[in-house]
Amino acid sequence: MKIRFILNPVSGRNARNARLLPVLRDFIGARSLDADVHLTEGPGHAIELARSAVQSGCQRVVAVGGDGTMNEVAQALINTPAALALVPCGSGNGLALHLGLPLAPLAALDLVSQIGGRVIAVDTGSVNGHPFFNAMGLGLDAEVSRRFNHLTTRGLPAYARTAFAAFNQRRSERCTLTVGERSETLDILLIAIANSDQYGNRAFIAPGASVDDGQLDLIAIRPVNLLNAAILGSRLFFGTIDHSPHVHRLSGSRFIIQRAGPGLVHTDGETHETGARVEVLVHPGSLRIVVPATSRRAALAQKSRPAGLALHSS
């Protein structure tokens, strides 16, 4: 099996990942793998390296880094025979946690090389042409991502401080949401659209969501005061955010969000300027990914969605 490792040596603006390079090379040698290692040199480079890996016949392409590295590598693997594998080294690792992947580097590397690891097909999403694999968002969601990407220190405490600062300068906006034949207009603080069940760090923005059901889950949070925001924050980690009266949840395969004007969206934490009309699509079973032989997928398949939340669109 031919493997390419794509390492972001500064994932999360921290040079700690550079120390993984000798670990990767030693691992390849010890396992006698048909593999090579390429380092990213800047934004977009992982996409080029992954495309080259597919063209050279690699069966597995391994993203060693955070959610941004995962997103770039996965973009190049959509609708190809190559399977994505993850060695999660970021601050959130939402997709890895959703799939039950090991976070320890050596355990993750073992999974990459083991024949016992399974390859499954998962859904992907896109927003105005920008692919995402875990979650996208707009409003406060995108503003927090923009600020977080400029930090030199990452992790959950830094994210919480950033979210609090952004919340204190919050502005609500009026959006019209269209799912299938149904439209509704509401004031929102943020909209998140999730493929998996969580942002990362086990902050469950879409409890019960699954990456292989052909649907995306939209969570719209209405404007709230500081006290209710704190309650919503705690609900994230208890997996009950969609029980709040301030939260509106829908599921579907296509969403149209019309807002007053252009603005930011984020895709797996990376921000982009887009127009006032935001179109979000699911692409069922479009990415192959390596998971443990006893992954959470079976458990996820047995979870039922909260009643009354699905709005299935075509």
Instruction: Tell if the pTM clears 0.85, that is, is over it.
Output: yes
Looking at residue 65, which CATH number applies to its domain?
3.40.50.10330
Q: Are residues 96 and 200 in the same domain?
A: no
| pLDDT at 188 exceeding the cut of 80 | yes
Is residue 70 domain-shared with residue 99, that is, in the same domain?
yes
CA 275 distance to own-chain centroid: 22
Are 88 and 158 members of one domain? no
- Its domain, for residue 54, covers 2-115
Same structural domain, 94 and 234: no
Percent of the chain with pLDDT over 70: 89
**Do 240 and 147 lie in a common domain?**
yes
What letter does residue 306 receive in the DSSP assignment?
P
Give residue-wise pLDDT tens across range 66-95.
999 999 999 999 999 999 999 998 888 999
Rounded CA-CA distance 89/86 in Å is 9
Same domain, yes or no, for 18 and 101?
A: yes
Report yes or no on 121 lying in a domain: no
In this structure, the answer to whether residues 138 and 37 fall within a common structural domain is no
Q: Tell me, yes or no, whether 217 lies in a domain.
A: yes
Backbone angles phi, psi at 76, to 5 degrees: -75, -15
- 163 and 260 both lie in a single domain: yes
- The alpha-carbon radius of gyration of the chain (Å, integer) is 19
* Single residue among 89, 115, 141 that ends a domain in this structure: 115
The answer on 242 and 144 residing in a single domain is yes
**In which band, very low, low, confident or very high, does the pLDDT at 13 lie, cut at 50, 70 and 90?**
very low
Number of domains in the chain: 2
Residue 138: phi, psi to the nearest 5? -145, 175
Query: Does residue 228 lie in a domain region?
Result: yes
Nearest by Cα to 296 from 227, 208, 234: 208
The predicted-structure confidence for 120-176, as pLDDT tens digits, reads as follows: 999 999 999 999 999 999 998 888 888 877 676 666 777 778 777 777 778 889 999
